[in-house]
Every structure is written in C-alpha cells, then in structure tokens.
Amino acid sequence: MDVATYVAKELGYQPDQIEWVETKSADRENALSRGDVKFIAATYSITDERKEKVDFAGPYLLAHQDLLVKSGSDITEATDLNDKKLCSVTGSTSAQNVKKDFAPDAQLSERGGYSECLSALQNGQVDALTTDDSILAGYAAQDQYKGKFKLAGLKLSNENYGVGVKKGDTETVNKINDALKKMVSDKSWEKAVEANFGPAEYKNEPAPQIGNLVK
C-alpha cells in the first residue's frame, strides 16, 4: 500500500483521492483490461505468462518463497518438512512446489486464507506456512504475532514484484517507473521496508533496478 500511495502521489493523486479496490489473484488481469483499476500493486509477480496480458512497471521488490515457523522450531530447511504438516491457502502453488521439489513426504494442509494458516501454526495443528517471504514477514510483524513466529530464511523461488498496468498503456508504465526510481532515491522505499517488515527481522533484498528481473 505504501508503494501504491507513493506512485499515486507522483501521478497527481492525494491519499484521499485513491479508491482502493480489492482484486483477487485470478481476476487481476481482467480488472486491468476492463479498466476497473488504473494499476495494481499487490505482491504481483512479473511472469512471462502475465506479460502477455498486461504490462508491468518495476520491479520494486525481489521476494522469495519461504517458510514461516514457530520461534522455537527446529525447521531450517525445506527438506525438514518431510513427515510434517505444511499449510498454504487453497489454490496456491507454493505448498505443492515444496512437496514436489524439496519434501515429497510433507503433509499438505490447505486453508481458506493465511490468517487460518497462522492460527493453525500457532495452535500446533501445522508445522509451517509457506508463501512469499514478504507476505510472511508482514504477518510476523503484526503486534499480536511479534516474537511468536520466524522466517526460515530460505529462497525457494524468485518473485519480482511489479505494478500491473493495462496492456499497451506505455505512458502510465513510464510514469510509474519514474515514481519507483524516485521512491528509491529519496529513501521512501527504504523507510517503507523498515516500517512494514522491520519487526519481523526480514532481511530484504536491495531495491532492484527497473527492468532488472531475477530469474
């Protein structure tokens, strides 16, 4: 939200002029093509498949798939999840990726949302939760969870977060790229990372260069 607010300001909009619209993962491309939103900044990974349908500014953050575990957990590698319960949200590929590539004997447990996975982790019903480290750090940084969870610090994938724009709207892409560069140069990017992830002791990657995707 800090990225979206900063970009909107550079496009000429004040915070009270922003209309926040929830867009589910499966509907992001349609929301842009229909013109429901001007741009989307929501852990939106830049992929070749998505680039066929929308244009991207950025990336503005390099994230990685990781594990969230209890603070005293001895899980330090993805292979430690063999014979353990791994939670992810219904429809996500994160847990399947872990089972396929690292821990074939992991027991997958799907929940309707990350909050349900967090409750299950806190109650000992599952041993770990997996998705992007930025999302996990955001939860771990919340007041009610401080000190209860930790990130394993794994880099199971590279996720280049971009700002999605309607296909063909090159002018908006260029303006957002300029805004993102300014956000980094005036230290607003660094402040946003610290404010959102600092309490979780999230070791973020440096700000990526515009157009520099890490495969």
> CA–CA separation, 93 vs 133, rounded Å?
15
Tokens of 46: 């830049």
Q: How far apart are CA 55 and CA 165, in angstroms?
A: 5
Q: How far apart are CA 31 and CA 150, in angstroms?
A: 35
Q: Which residues contact 18 (CB under 8 A, 6 or more apart)?
A: 4, 5, 8
pLDDT of residue 202: 79
Element (H, E) at 90: none
H helices of 52-132, where? 94-101, 114-122
Please identify which residue in the block is written with the tokens 């842009």. Answer: 32
**Structural domains of the chain, with CATH:** 2-63+159-199 (3.40.190.10), 65-151 (3.40.190.10)
Residue 201: left (phi > 0), alpha (psi -120 to 50), or beta? Answer: left
Average pLDDT of every residue of the chain: 93
Across 26-30, 93-97, 112-116, 171-175, the highest mean pLDDT is recorded for 171-175
Helix (H) or strand (E) holding 84, with range, is: none
Angle made by CA atoms 198, 162, 19, in degrees to the nearest 5:
85
**Confidence at residue 172, expressed as pLDDT on a 0 to 100 scale:** 97
**pLDDT given for residue 143 in this prediction:** 87
Closest CA to 56 of 142, 182, 167: 167
CB 97 within 8 A of CB 81: no
Segment 178-192 mean pLDDT? 97
Give pLDDT, residue 112. 86
The answer to whether 128 and 87 are in contact (CB under 8 A) is: yes
pLDDT confidence bin for 14, thresholds 50/70/90? very high
If you average pLDDT over residues 131-140, what whole number do you get?
91
pLDDT at 63: 94
